[in-house]
Amino acid sequence: MSVTGGCTSGAGEYAFTLDVASACAYSPTVTFSPNSGSIGTTFTITGAGWAPGGRVTSTIPYGSPGWFTGYQTPTVNAKGTFSYKETVGTGPNGATPPGVYPFTYVESSGGCSLKYVQNLTVRVRNVPAPNQKYAGYGVTGLPNGHASVAGSWIVPAAHCTPGLKTASGFWVGLGAINAPVEQIATDSNCGLLGKASYGAIWGIYGAPGYTPLTTLDPKKYPVSPGDVMAASVSYSGGKYTFTMSDSGKSHKWTFGPRPVSGPTENDAHNQAVWIAEAPTATFIQPLTNFGTVYLTGCLANGRSISSASVLYTFDLTVPSFNNLFKARPSGLQANGTAFNVKWSLT
């Protein structure tokens, strides 16, 4: 039997999962109230279906004083219920960090033994991301040794102005938050004469001694506005594989497997990102007016963006042009697997 509950806020999300094991004919349950709040919110935890008259002792893994505070040895009344309060805290060393915290509840009464193992998962939302040229989302905490990221988007049309050279890229990748990035992308660019161009890119960026990103031959690998592209990057056995397909034209391209080229790349495969980008040449380039791009089917190891322990939000600002060019992602949609990014000139 499992019971779930939690709270969500701009500051953080706390998801509760309770697994019940019983050696008696009791059916204990636990509920949380309120089921929404933020760091510092006090929850009333109510138990029912326990052995009447006993006391429930608990063990809570305090990683730091003040991460969780509350009365931990409730008495079960004659109706088999109990109630106490618990606070997700801001301890002396800072707020409760993301992670899974097992709470163990035990009651022994009248020859019966009841045990709860309550896993409290603390998830942090909307951590500011450290890259000004990206707009989108990123997650961390993918398991070592095997990782994958996938997503789809419709290649946006580039709205060009003669005399202004601009660039934009749309991609999925492993890494990029505080590590090199393994990515596969399409781009929508504008030349000085106001002519739009489109293409595809794959490879690694940002590691010492990296192999430069590969720009694909547009005749062999054509990309056009309106194309529905599905892309993925996977890591297994020390190698990366890149794929992209165009559902409307029945194109499917695969690159790799490509071996890891250096130790700094080893950090990349535990992070996944879904990005609209102002690419870098010698500086961050002016961002092409692409209107709005929609990214869907966004998964990391087959799970939604919103299921990650730590979720980064990237807001794009091009500092080399007086912060005129900007892009910002929407909130997550479709059960945490989709969002859009809008271009703006402010």
Strands 310-314 and 112-128: parallel
Please determine whether the domains at 2-124 and 129-345 fall in the same fold group of CATH. Answer: no
Which residue type, as a one-letter code, is found at position 71? Answer: Y
**Distance of alpha carbon 222 from alpha carbon 224, whole angstroms:** 7
Band (pLDDT 50/70/90 cuts) for residue 110 is low
For residue range 164-213, what is the model confidence (pLDDT) as tens digits? Answer: 999 999 999 998 877 788 999 999 999 999 999 999 999 888 766 666 78
- Of the candidates 148, 143, 147, 58, the residue with the CA atom closest to the CA atom of residue 103: 58
Q: Where are the domains of the chain?
A: 2-124, 129-345
Average pLDDT over all residues of the chain: 80
- Cβ atoms of residues 217 and 200 within 8 Å: no
Which residue type, as a one-letter code, is found at position 262? Answer: G
**Distance of alpha carbon 169 from alpha carbon 284, whole angstroms:** 12
Average pLDDT, integer, range 126-150: 77
Residue 44 is predicted with a pLDDT of: 83
What's the CATH number of domain 2-124, 3.50.50.60, 2.20.130.20, 1.20.140.10, 2.60.40.10? 2.20.130.20
Fold of 129-345: Jelly Rolls (2.60.120)
193: phi then psi, degrees, rounded to nearest 5: -85, 5
**Distance of alpha carbon 79 from alpha carbon 229, whole angstroms:** 59
Residue 86 is predicted with a pLDDT of: 79
**Distance of alpha carbon 258 from alpha carbon 240, whole angstroms:** 5
Phi-psi region of 161 (alpha: psi -120 to 50; beta: other; left: phi over 0): beta
pTM of full prediction above 0.75 = no
Residue 49 has pLDDT above 50, yes or no: yes
Virtual torsion, Cα 213, 218, 219, 223, nearest 10 deg? 130
For residue range 205-233, what is the model confidence (pLDDT) as tens digits? Answer: 876 666 678 999 999 999 999 999 999 99
- Cβ atoms of residues 99 and 119 within 8 Å: no
